[in-house]
Structure 1
Amino acid sequence: MSHAPELRVAAQHLGRRRFLTVTGAAAALAFATNLPTAGTAAAAELDGAKITSAPFTLGVASGDPLPDSVLLWTRLAPAPFEVGGGLPARRVEVSWELALDERFKRIVRRGRATAHPEFNHSVHVEVDHLDAGRVYFYRFRAGSWVSGTGRTRTAPHASARHVPALTLAAVSCQAYHDGYFTAYKHLAEDDVDVVFHLGDYLYEYAVTSVGGARKYTDRVLPAVFNRETVTLDDYRLRYALYKSDPDLVAAHAAHPFIVTWDDHETENNYADDTSENDDPPAEFLLRRASAYRAYWENQPLRRPQLPHGPDARLYRRLQWGRLAQFDILDTRQYRTNQANGDGWKSPTPESEAASQTLPGFTQERWLIDGWRRSKALWNVVPQQVTFGRRNNPDGTDTLSMDSWDGYPASRDRVLQGARSARVENLMVLTGDVHVSYGLDIKQDFDDPDSATLGTEIVTTSITSGKDGSAKPSNWSAYLARNPHMKHYNGQRGYVTVELGTSEARADFKTVSAVTTPGAPLTTAASLVTAVGDQGLRPA
């Protein structure tokens, strides 16, 4: 049986004695599962005055805004492309400040935190007792070094009825080796309240010395990146590569992020403890523990999301007053294995069985129970893989087994739950597919005239798939075979969604190229859906 408890117990209890005798991912997990908890002084202290090179090379970030709290993140790495980031295995005291103004004339909170070597010198600061619905600025200091300034915000009070609008951005799929993060440069300058990252923050694949499609002529990347990520050090170094990109640094500094993973943060198309290449589950769980550990270290996540070996509670719920409830899903960690493989296949009794679940049965119930208690106008579900039906444009009866189409019973249970909870304004946010879609969620996808139960906004990739095109070769056939598909574009970029009290507006923003830097931003399409009358139409 997948997700076997005995495998997880074994992984959790790899001892330090075995650390010197096991290899690869096993060694990484032996290290990861014996880390101290936050606040534990396991290493000697390093005097910050002895940090002789700028340590804030990976920028700053914030995330998961609450009405009275923000999460602030940074990581000390004077030499980010070296194991350990160029610091010795000693803890470093870091100070932080939170202010109402960008010049820090009106500081409202300040404090100190410890950058532990066991956490790869990352810092996660949960600042509370703040005012709701307010913009703040923050920065860090280590020794004589001061970080760049970040901008963040708190959410409105959960009970606030008069929240006129919220503008969010959705992003996903940023393969470093496929191009420049130009879309992030534009997003950093865009006027949004919060950014949802829907997965594939990094890719496990090798990156050549010239940066793949970036084709660097002014730098040579270390050989350590030219291999697939497997160990804890591999994943940590890969985050350093990605987070050293100035456009990604700028986007994180400009807006709070709410993140969830998909597959490539660990390995392509994995399902629970089943790897892409059917490695022994115990071996894959060791790799997964390394990947999950590095993810938490490098993302603006709170303490409840800290992994325990190969497990991490990433699904969670956030409120934006009475305007919106966000139920952030994890559709990788708990899913049953793809019944027919992970490609485009014809449905079978195995794939359509009630035993198949994409988010796992516990998470399905958590989602539906949250809807039953929701008092929000909009119920938004940020998640990873396409929720609505996608009939194959090649004319066959095949569907994507790695998406919700490969788990129709699970999708039916979720939609039945939405109906029973009387969710009137349902919106699903999706990444993964390297194109953008606007989809109506139908009660019966075989009947275009059936009720529309919600809408799905699918963001394209930041870079994955390289430049793409506005109208891929299957554009006409795709729209013809899927009448509930109201938008389809194959370029790179992101989407913004303005949630209002009468309607929601989605603007699909694209760049013409990512294999060369500096492309301008264009709005490829704008769609709206009305409160109480779901269904996408041109703005």
Structure 2
Amino acid sequence: MDSLHRHILDLDRRGLLRGATALAALAAIGPARAQMVAEAGRDPFTLGVASGDPWPDGVVLWTRLAPEPLAPMGGLLPVARPVGWEVAKDDGFTRIVQSGIALARPELGFAVHVEVTGLAPARPYWYRFRAGAAVSGIGRTRTAPTPDAMPDRFRVVNAGCQHWEHGHFTAWRHIAEEPDLDVVFHYGDYIYEYAGRQPGSRGWGPAIRSHAGAETYTLENYRQRYAQYHTDPDLIAAHAAHPFIVSFDDHEVDNNWAGRISEEDGSARRPVAVPPEIFALRKAAAFQAWYEAMPVRASMLPRGDTIGAHRRLRFGRLATLHALDTRQYRDDQPCGDVTGRPCDAVLRPDAQMLGAAQEAWLLDGLAERPATWEILAQQVMMMRRELPNDAISMDKWDAYPAARTRLLTGLRDRRISNAVVLSGDVHTAWAGSVTAEDGSAIATEFTAPSVTSEGDGSEIQNSTPEILRRNPHIAFFNNRRGYTLHEATPGHEATPGRMETVFRAVPFVTRPDAPREDKARFVQETGQVTLHRA
């Protein structure tokens, strides 16, 4: 009998009878065992395993029981179930360092979030789960360095915008195969809320495979949609290979939502508005399903239609990653959210993108203990991007210039010379400088392309030459699908530190097994807000 089975069968010996939480767990085990006998032969780990938000002494482990992923409650009856977990120093689990039992509760869609502590810093670990006789796949994770350590390097991937219907998640397979990643940052659009289309049907983007169900509004709708995405084998492989830091953008709730305002905002384009108190019901369902589906800590459990998603993760003195939320606290998009020439509302001096509290939290954290590299990991493009006919996108930082100016002034005042902005959302790849009103470069920005959204893409678009001419601070554009890989180093003595960024792409997503192609490579040195193409 292996050690995990012994944990499940010998609960008293392991001390689970101590305390009110343990009593509740024990009470649930009897009926849960009976249910598992009835469910024998069905794999409850169809959605894979994941880890996230690494700290020096631990990490979050995640799974969700769903023997029938697209069925209500994953095909399970509403009874809490014990799920065993183990963490080991090797993938053969001969050196187990932590183990225990968690409850998969129906109130949380049978999701399991285990916050493991007591691990050693800056090293890999392997983990797995068991429910009854069923054993999950093995995941690999990695803890962060200690706060005072100076690692030789920090490697992070930035990726997102993975529309199920628009193609295959081959980019995630390539991410799974990336060696020695410290973490993957998922900037958002993990799911798309749109109703399913038949393959080959007309609509926005190609329809290669179909969403299950109609547009998502209820908790069960969102749970089903996340379950469908989690069944993708390439995404399962990426989660099992690396720890993730996840955020959300708009499609986890509703296209282009902003604060308390739905896409249906009463504008000329969408005259039938959804009242904020009604939209709050949809947000609450969406946030709960997002929490259930992500490897995040219990502190991020939503409270109704709000969730605390911004957080700061330190990787020694080399890099700090500030995961930001550019949806929940922003003002409604100005000018009816229609891409075009700026209207007067764009110039409002009190414009909010991060909200006052998150903005202060970010700037205070930048001043508190600066790292060699300060990474602002967020959703929408921050750099200026003037489009043909003097147009701007009203959903990006361009439509909130006062908020951008406050942030850039804060970076300058705090003498943050090595700020790197990661973004996504637009489905295309960009690299450039984030400039102040006077044109001076304050930070660099790398915008990752989509994993699949909008299909195969192309090398350039018709508007590309004109956009690059209007924006000399933009150094690169590409319209293939893929991700960005970033490697930061600290430098030594007379050798400056470097941030090397590679834009990795796949030539197609409308069929599987695309090869990986590198489209561009950039190097930035410490103390220099300048990109050099390598």
Shared topology, TM-score over 0.5? yes
Q: Structure 1, residues 200-238: CA drift from partner, whole Å, max 9, x if none?
A: 00000012354974646xxxx6xx824100000000000
Find out whether 1:139 has 2:128 as its counterpart.
Answer: yes
Assess, with a 3 A threshold, how the Cα gap between structure 1 residues 118 and 39 changes in structure 2: closer, same or farther: farther
Partners of 2:447 and 2:78 in 1: CA distance: 42
* Contact 1:460–1:492 (8 Å) recurs in 2: yes
Partners of 2:138 and 2:188 in 1: CA distance: 25
Find out whether 1:362 has 2:349 as its counterpart.
Answer: no
User: Given the alignment, which residue of 171, 174, 182 partners 1:186?
Assistant: 174
Return the offset for 1:248. Answer: 0.4
Q: How does 1:61-460 map to 2 (within 5 A)?
A: 61-160=50-149, 162-191=150-179, 192-210=181-199, 213=206, 215=208, 225-278=212-265, 279-392=274-387, 394=388, 396-444=389-437, 450-460=439-449
Any unmatched runs of 5+ in structure 2?
1-20, 266-273, 491-496
Assess, with a 3 A threshold, how the Cα gap between structure 1 residues 181 and 40 changes in structure 2: closer, same or farther: farther
* Contact 1:391–1:398 (8 Å) recurs in 2: yes
* Contact 1:442–1:452 (8 Å) recurs in 2: yes
Q: Structure 1, residues 25-51: CA drift from partner, whole Å, max 9, x if none?
A: xxxxxxxxxxxx999669774113433
Return the offset for 1:535. Answer: 1.3
Partners of 1:215 and 1:368 in 2: CA distance: 43
Partners of 1:113 and 1:83 in 2: CA distance: 22
Q: How does 1:495-514 map to 2 (within 5 A)?
A: 495-501=484-490, 502-514=497-509
Q: Structure 1, residues 263-311: CA drift from partner, whole Å, max 9, x if none?
A: 0000000111110112011110000000000000000010111001101
Partners of 1:459 and 1:352 in 2: CA distance: 28
Return the offset for 1:341. Answer: 2.1
Partners of 2:207 and 2:151 in 1: CA distance: 42
Partners of 2:22 and 2:348 in 1: CA distance: 43
Assess, with a 3 A threshold, how the Cα gap between structure 1 residues 127 and 527 changes in structure 2: closer, same or farther: same
Partners of 1:343 and 1:515 in 2: CA distance: 29
User: Given the alignment, which residue of 466, 472, 487 partners 2:455?
Assistant: 466
What SS does the aligned partner of 2:335 have? coil
What does residue 481 of structure 2 align with? Answer: 492
Assess, with a 3 A threshold, how the Cα gap between structure 1 residues 184 and 214 changes in structure 2: closer, same or farther: farther
Find out whether 1:46 has 2:32 as its counterpart.
Answer: yes
Return the offset for 1:356. Answer: 1.2
What does residue 11 of structure 1 align with? Answer: none
Partners of 1:117 and 1:246 in 2: CA distance: 25
Partners of 1:345 and 1:315 in 2: CA distance: 30
What SS does the aligned partner of 1:284 have? helix
* Contact 1:70–1:126 (8 Å) recurs in 2: yes
Partners of 1:452 and 1:409 in 2: CA distance: 17
Partners of 1:521 and 1:513 in 2: CA distance: 10
Return the offset for 1:339. Answer: 1.8
Assess, with a 3 A threshold, how the Cα gap between structure 1 residues 531 and 513 changes in structure 2: closer, same or farther: same
Partners of 2:118 and 2:340 in 1: CA distance: 52
Q: Give the structure-2-normalised TM-score.
A: 0.89
* Contact 2:51–2:61 (8 Å) recurs in 1: yes
Return the offset for 1:156. Answer: 0.2
Return the offset for 1:348. Answer: 3.0
Q: Structure 1, residues 426-470: CA drift from partner, whole Å, max 9, x if none?
A: 0000010000000111223xx6xx432110010000000111011
Q: Structure 1, residues 108-151: CA drift from partner, whole Å, max 9, x if none?
A: 11110000000000000000011000100000000000000000
What SS does the aligned partner of 2:32 have? coil
Q: Give the structure-1-normalised TM-score.
A: 0.88
* Contact 1:176–1:211 (8 Å) recurs in 2: no
Partners of 1:99 and 1:49 in 2: CA distance: 28
Assess, with a 3 A threshold, how the Cα gap between structure 1 residues 281 and 85 changes in structure 2: closer, same or farther: same
What does residue 533 of structure 1 align with? Answer: 528
Q: What is the one-letter code of the residue matched to 2:404?
A: R
* Contact 1:188–1:251 (8 Å) recurs in 2: yes
